[in-house]
Amino acid sequence: MPGPTSSTFGPWSRRLILVVFVLAFITLWQTGRGALPWAFEYPKGAELPLARWIGQFTKWLLNEATFGLFTFSQLTRFISSVIDLPYRVVLSLLSTGFLSGRGSAAIQLTPSLSYLTVIGLVALIGHHAGGRRLALLSAACLAFVAVFGQWSSAMVTLASIVVAVPLGVAGGGLLGILAYRHRWVERLIGPILDLMQTIPVFAYLVPILFLFGFGPTAAVLATIIFAMPPMTRVTLLALRRVPGELTDLGQIIGCTRAQMTWRVLVPTAKDGLMVGVNQVIMLSLNMVIIAAMIGAGGLGFDVLAALRRLDIGAGLESGLAIVALAIMLDRLSQAFAEKTGAAPAGPGWTGRHPYLLAGLALIVVAGFGGLVVPALQTYPAGAVLTTGTFWSRVVEWINVNYFDDIEAVKNALLLGVLVPFKRLLLDLPWLGVVAALGLLGWRLGGLRLALLAGGLSFLIAALGLWEKAMITVYLCGISTVVAMLIGMPIGIIAAERRGLWRWVQVVIDTLQTLPSFVYLMPAVMLFRVGDFTAMIAVVAFAVAPAIRYTALGLQGVDPNLIEAGRSMGCTPWQLLTRIKLRLALPEMMLGLNQTIMFALSMLVITALVGTRDLGQEVYIALTKADTGKGLAAGLCVAFIAIIADRLIGAAAARARVRLGLAEAVS
Amino acid sequence: MTLSPPKLVCSNVWKLFGARASEKFAAMGHAPSLEQIRANGLVSAVRNVNIEVRTGEIFVIMGLSGSGKSTLVRCLSRLIEPTAGEILFNGENLLAASNAQMVEIRRHKMSMVFQHFALLPHQSVLENVAFPLDVQGMGRTEREARAREMIALVGLEGREESFPRQLSGGQQQRVGIARSLATQPELWFLDEPFSALDPLIRREMQDEFMRLQSALKKTIVFITHDFDESIRLADRIAIMKDGEVVQCGTAEEIVLNPASDYVREFARAVPKAKVVRVSTLMAAPGGRETQGDIASDKTIAEAAPRFRQGATALRVIGDGGRPVGHLLRDDVVALMLGD
Ligand SMILES: Nc1ncnc2c1ncn2[C@@H]1O[C@H](COP(=O)(O)OP(=O)(O)OP(=O)(O)O)[C@@H](O)[C@H]1O
Ligand SMILES: [Mg+2]
């Protein structure tokens, strides 16, 4: 949108403002350090003690807050028990068996489900949802886990997922329904959801740790909170998309409000809702490793421990086990989403519930079998394969043979690109950057955007986190550039070749279902810890949207225009640069936006490999359970994300108007 | 013909869309012009509508797209609240009914058929038709028996277990009709029920609809944008333009005396013989030789073949079976040649 800028200022005065600003910025940057030191170092005395306030607030919550009928700590205890009880039951089923008594004195009343039973049950579910192929695939995923000796950890992880997903789906869904019914709920939770998707997960681990203590309950809660927002969003969207005629129908036949929701809206919106369920599952799996930091145990703990020991082989195997679970759950939930209508039912109860019956039979038979033959109960230790030493050897071999080459590349990039860029950013005066962001916001979207961009960046300075934020910007910026440099050519090449594009799609879809930690492992193996490793991991994670949006943008270009270009005698190169790339620009900017968001979310995780940015702040706060510090740093990451998102969004909207793809809104 | 009592009376009904519509409506003095409404940032959908639907008649609301037909019918069924006006259903103020009363009225006294069928995709034909009864809490066997009856009534026996996506458009609308009849309503709203169907199926469905109505004798509010359809089906027609009813009357009245150029434009395309009735064209009785009898409520198009064998005049028989006049061949020819 041209906004107020074009109406109040002519092009000349706008250019003049820009020139004056650039000159002022350079003068400040080059000469101001002596004259205006506070423009470079935000004065300590004027800092906002947000971290302290948050810390005091949480202490007050925990010790004194009461809602009249009950205190806040009673509320947290209630929430714990809601999660804890189902978690214990599922864990007993999958892993520990039902116990009587506590600790080492506990006696096992019944054993857990044997590995064969679980594999069989999953295969049955797969068959029910998607036929024989899916049954085989899901069974194979679990068998993989057993064969590589990850079974017991995997069952702990699976238990937390099995508890977190239904609670997340129910909670997110109910919030979505409330938001659909009441506008004010929607207005209230909209910004919160936005913030939750940009704030790094670590940041809200801290208050959860503080309020709920270390352990699986806190971990499951964190998983739920992390995985819920998309469900709410998807629910709201799906309900909105229910045709008005159907809601009219519900009213005219005299549905009560509950009937309207549960008999008309939810069933018709089922397909959309299942997309949300799938997202909850995938996000829960994404949280597995992070949740291990506050006591989830299971595979996540194994990966984390291996990462800390730098035991690459062990970490990789546990990581792959998570991937196997992810693939299995993803395909299963997708199959349920695509399943339509009821299967033809046989006669009688047994005919109507063949799967239930088969499942029960399996549990009984395998249960007795397990009592007699131990190898049927637990996967025999002798048959476990391990590739751990193999991977360690591969890495060793690479390091022995190519150490010098790898180091050379790494050092060249570090010294030639990364370090100078980092210096440059750290050297800039915060005041100038805040002003520049404000000006950019004003040019792109008018006063509101100017205030948002300038205000949020000022807040980062005022919280005393400017330097850390600049390191985050530097790592994120470099990674985004590299990801775009890799992703765009791939997108351009793949866009026009249908066969190739299908393959690329499979690859990037898979990349996106992997938990982000998986990317860290090979990077650490080859490059050890540090900024460079972080960058490699971030690029690997963030390249998928760069590819996807480039290709989608190019494929979306109006074929008539390409035809026109061809008839004017454009060479393929001219066709690409003059027509296609230009028209695909808005879509590609969205790709850039997504790439930045992906990069930021991955960046925080790379704190584990020793970066010095905001992510590290949050991570340290986590280890000390310092709620205030953690949230403040987390908010700063969110601010960076919001600024980037809004500025790029406004730029894309402008580009779309300029290209005549959209109407200007005045 | 004696007039039956009114079932639904709607007086001075307005519906304006936009923020704080009723406040602004009051500020504009309860009778704003189109310009005033627009100047206040509102969208006018229904303006000052007065109609009366009599028991047992087919009342058609006709108008072009966007003329406010759906909005009016949604006001009449109180799916949306009118901005102003009064609606009497069986003599009682519908707008004053409480939520619980509305639920009762909707469950037992009115029903609606939708343009795009509005079938629940996850339910079979049988479940869809039984759904309104299910919502009322009727037991399974009873409601399924009633639903089967309705499915048979619309000629869909054997498709009870199909799902909506397995049916053609015409069949889907039959399901919609069966469902709306399952609660045995007194007042039946149909919002462009056949518009989404192709012309051949549409005609077939219209015939089917007339057959149903001759057996059921419901009070019907039928919406269409097709003038031919309204002439085929209507006892009376209300023509809407920009939210107003510009003319209301029988097809014959509208074709013979269009109230405005807008209505004349519609009427022009219709052969007069199809709507004008014998009673309108007949001459005073007496002094002529007649070659047969014709009922006074037949249309001229229906009477015309009788003149083929050389008849010059027919005796017109009125409601009570008494002769009321003569229909002359010359008058019929003049009308059919169109002047
Ligand atoms: N919820 C709404 N909010 C704002 N304006 C509306 C709303 N519903 C209808 N309108 C407007 O009211 C006017 C009448 O719409 P309505 O749907 O009643 O027309 P219609 O005669 O049924 O048309 P169609 O033949 O297309 O169904 C239109 O100008 C429409 O844009
Ligand atoms: Mg309509």
In chain A (666 residues long), the average pLDDT of successive 10-residue segments reads 48 79 80 73 78 82 76 83 89 81 70 84 89 91 90 92 93 94 90 78 79 88 90 91 92 92 92 87 85 87 82 81 88 81 57 77 78 75 75 80 84 87 86 88 88 91 88 92 93 88 83 71 77 88 88 85 83 84 84 86 79 83 82 87 88 83 58
Nearest CA to ligand 1 atom 22: B70
Residue A665: burial class (beta carbons within 10 Å; 0-12, 13-18, 19+)? exposed
* CA distance, residue A330 to nearest chain B CA (Å): 23
* Nearest CB neighbour to B120, from listed A259, A268, A341: A268
CA closest to B123 among chain A residues: A341
How far does Cα B226 stand from its chain's mean position? 12
**B-chain residues within 8 Å CB-CB of A245?**
114-118
* CA distance, residue B243 to nearest chain A CA (Å): 21
CA closest to A254 among chain B residues: B103
The closest of A531, A539, A437, A550 to A490, measured between CA atoms, is: A550
Cα–Cα dist A507/A489, whole Å: 16
Cα–Cα dist A425/B63, whole Å: 66
The closest of A496, A542, A552 to A519, measured between CA atoms, is: A542
How far separated are the first and last CA of chain B, in Å rounded?
Answer: 29
Cα–Cα dist A312/A314, whole Å: 6
Judging by DSSP bridges, how do beta strands B110-113 and B187-191 pair with one another? parallel
Beta carbon of B323 within 6 Å of any ligand 1 atom: no
* Nearest CB neighbour to A267, from listed B102, B106, B122: B122
Cα–Cα dist A533/A501, whole Å: 29
Angle at B211 between CA B207 and CA B215, to 5 degrees: 165
Beta carbon of B56 within 6 Å of any ligand 1 atom: no
Cα–Cα dist A237/A239, whole Å: 6
Beta carbon of B225 within 6 Å of any ligand 1 atom: yes
pLDDT at site A5: 43
Question: Around A538, how many Cα atoms within 13 Å sit in the side-chain half-sphere?
Answer: 36
Contact (CB<8Å) A245/B115:
yes
Cα–Cα dist A99/A92, whole Å: 8
- Where on the phi/psi map is residue A629: left (φ > 0), alpha (ψ -120 to 50), or beta? alpha
The percent helix, strand, coil of chain A (3-state, each to 5) is: 85, 0, 15
A97, A111 Cβ separation under 8 angstroms: yes
Phi and psi at B214, nearest 5°, equal -65, -25
Beta carbon of B65 within 6 Å of any ligand 1 atom: yes
CA distances from A418 to A201, A471, A473, B130, B292 (A): 26, 11, 12, 69, 106
Helices (H) and strands (E) in chain A, counts: 33, 2
Cα–Cα dist B8/A180, whole Å: 33
pLDDT at site A160: 93
* CA distance, residue A272 to nearest chain B CA (Å): 14
Cα–Cα dist A259/B134, whole Å: 10
Sign of CA dihedral A596, A601, A606, A610: positive
Contact (CB<8Å) B118/A246:
yes
How far does Cα A302 stand from its chain's mean position? 21
Contact (CB<8Å) A245/B114:
yes
Contact (CB<8Å) A263/B135:
yes
Residue B126's CB: how many other CB atoms inside 10 A? 21
Cα–Cα dist B239/B64, whole Å: 9
pLDDT tens digits, one per residue of A200-214:
777 778 888 888 888
**A-chain residues within 8 Å CB-CB of B134?**
263
Buried b (16+ CB within 10 A) or exposed e, A508-521: beebebbbbbbbbb
The closest of A462, A482, A485, A460 to A471, measured between CA atoms, is: A460
CA distances from B337 to A256, B265, B279, B294, B334 (A): 58, 19, 19, 21, 5
Q: Does domain B274-338 have CATH number 3.90.1280.20?
A: yes
Which residues share a beta bridge with B14? B84
Nearest CA to ligand 1 atom 14: B68
Quickly name the fold that domain A401-658 has. MetI-like fold (1.10.3720)
Phi and psi at B249, nearest 5°, equal 175, -175
| CA B222 to ligand 2 center in whole angstroms | 11
Do the domains B274-338 and B6-13+51-272 match in fold?
no
Angle at A48 between CA A45 and CA A53, to 5 degrees: 125
User: Which residue in B120, B143, B187 has the most chain A C-beta atoms within 10 A of its own C-beta, making it the best mutation to test that interface?
Assistant: B120
Q: Which residues contact A492 (CB under 8 A, 6 or more apart)?
A: A550, A551, A554, A576, A581
**pLDDT tens digit at each of 339 positions of chain B:** 567 889 999 999 999 998 888 888 988 888 888 888 888 889 999 999 999 999 999 999 999 999 999 999 999 999 999 999 999 999 999 999 999 999 999 999 999 999 999 999 889 999 999 999 999 999 999 999 999 999 999 999 999 999 999 999 999 999 999 999 999 999 999 999 999 888 888 899 999 999 999 998 999 999 999 998 998 899 999 999 999 999 999 998 998 899 999 999 888 888 888 888 888 888 888 778 888 888 888 888 888 888 887 788 888 888 888 888 888 888 888 888 865
Nearest CA to ligand 1 atom 13: B45
Instruction: Give domain limits for chain A.
Output: 401-658
Contact (CB<8Å) B120/A253:
no
Residue A563: burial class (beta carbons within 10 Å; 0-12, 13-18, 19+)? exposed
Contact (CB<8Å) B116/A252:
no
Q: Which residues contact B167 (CB under 8 A, 6 or more apart)?
A: B125, B159, B175
How far separated are the first and last CA of chain A, in Å rounded?
Answer: 7
Cα–Cα dist A26/A562, whole Å: 44
Beta carbon of B79 within 6 Å of any ligand 1 atom: no
CA distances from A123 to A136, A344, A349, A558 (A): 7, 20, 22, 45
**A-chain residues within 8 Å CB-CB of B114?**
245, 248-249
| CA B61 to ligand 2 center in whole angstroms | 11
The closest of A275, A206, A273, A278 to A58, measured between CA atoms, is: A206
Contact (CB<8Å) A248/B114:
yes
pLDDT at site A1: 39
Q: Which residues contact A528 (CB under 8 A, 6 or more apart)?
A: none
**B-chain residues within 8 Å CB-CB of A254?**
102-107, 132, 135-136
* CA distance, residue A189 to nearest chain B CA (Å): 23
Beta carbon of B173 within 6 Å of any ligand 1 atom: no
User: Which residue in A241, A246, A253 has the most chain B C-beta atoms within 10 A of its own C-beta, making it the best mutation to test that interface?
Assistant: A253
Sign of CA dihedral B82, B85, B90, B92: positive
What are the E-state strand segments in A329-466?
A: none
* CA distance, residue B171 to nearest chain A CA (Å): 18
Cα–Cα dist A128/A143, whole Å: 19
Sheet holding B313-317, edge to edge: B293-295, B313-317, B323-328
CA closest to B184 among chain A residues: A253
Beta carbon of B75 within 6 Å of any ligand 1 atom: no
* CA distance, residue A185 to nearest chain B CA (Å): 19
Contact (CB<8Å) B132/A341:
no
- Where on the phi/psi map is residue B268: left (φ > 0), alpha (ψ -120 to 50), or beta? alpha
Contact (CB<8Å) B122/A253:
no
Q: Which residues contact A41 (CB under 8 A, 6 or more apart)?
A: none
Buried b (16+ CB within 10 A) or exposed e, A433-451: bbbbbbbbbbbbbbeebbe
Angle at B264 between CA B260 and CA B266, to 5 degrees: 125
Tokens representing residue A65 in the block? 């807050």
Cα–Cα dist B72/A80, whole Å: 53
**A-chain residues within 8 Å CB-CB of B73?**
none
Beta carbon of B19 within 6 Å of any ligand 1 atom: no
* Nearest CB neighbour to A252, from listed B104, B106, B163: B106
Cα–Cα dist A221/A628, whole Å: 20
| CA B69 to ligand 2 center in whole angstroms | 6
B266, B224 Cβ separation under 8 angstroms: no
The closest of A548, A560, A642, A646 to A588, measured between CA atoms, is: A548
- Give the ipTM: 0.87
Instruction: Give domain limits for chain B.
Output: 6-13+51-272, 274-338
Q: Which residues contact B320 (CB under 8 A, 6 or more apart)?
A: none
The closest of A493, A655, A489 to A584, measured between CA atoms, is: A655
Alpha-carbon radius of gyration of chain B: 23
Nearest CA to ligand 1 atom 24: B65
pLDDT tens digits, one per residue of A532-583:
888 988 898 888 888 988 988 888 888 888 888 888 888 888 888 888 888 8
**B-chain residues within 8 Å CB-CB of A262?**
none
Contact (CB<8Å) B74/A248:
yes
CA distances from A633 to A267, A453, A478 (A): 42, 18, 21
CA distances from A30 to A34, A80, A470, B67, B222 (A): 10, 56, 18, 68, 79
* Nearest CB neighbour to A251, from listed B79, B116, B183: B79
Beta carbon of B46 within 6 Å of any ligand 1 atom: no
Candidates B15, B20, B40, B43: which one to mutate for ligand 1, based on the most atoms within 8 Å of Cβ?
B43
**A-chain residues within 8 Å CB-CB of B112?**
248-249, 252
Beta carbon of B17 within 6 Å of any ligand 1 atom: yes
Sign of CA dihedral A539, A541, A542, A548: positive
How far does Cα A548 stand from its chain's mean position? 17
* CA distance, residue A123 to nearest chain B CA (Å): 26
B6-13+51-272 CATH pick, 3.40.50.720, 1.25.40.10, 3.40.50.300, 3.30.1370.10:
3.40.50.300
pLDDT at site A349: 65
**B-chain residues within 8 Å CB-CB of A255?**
135
Sign of CA dihedral A177, B42, B191, B76: positive
Residue A310's CB: how many other CB atoms inside 10 A? 14
Beta carbon of B193 within 6 Å of any ligand 1 atom: no
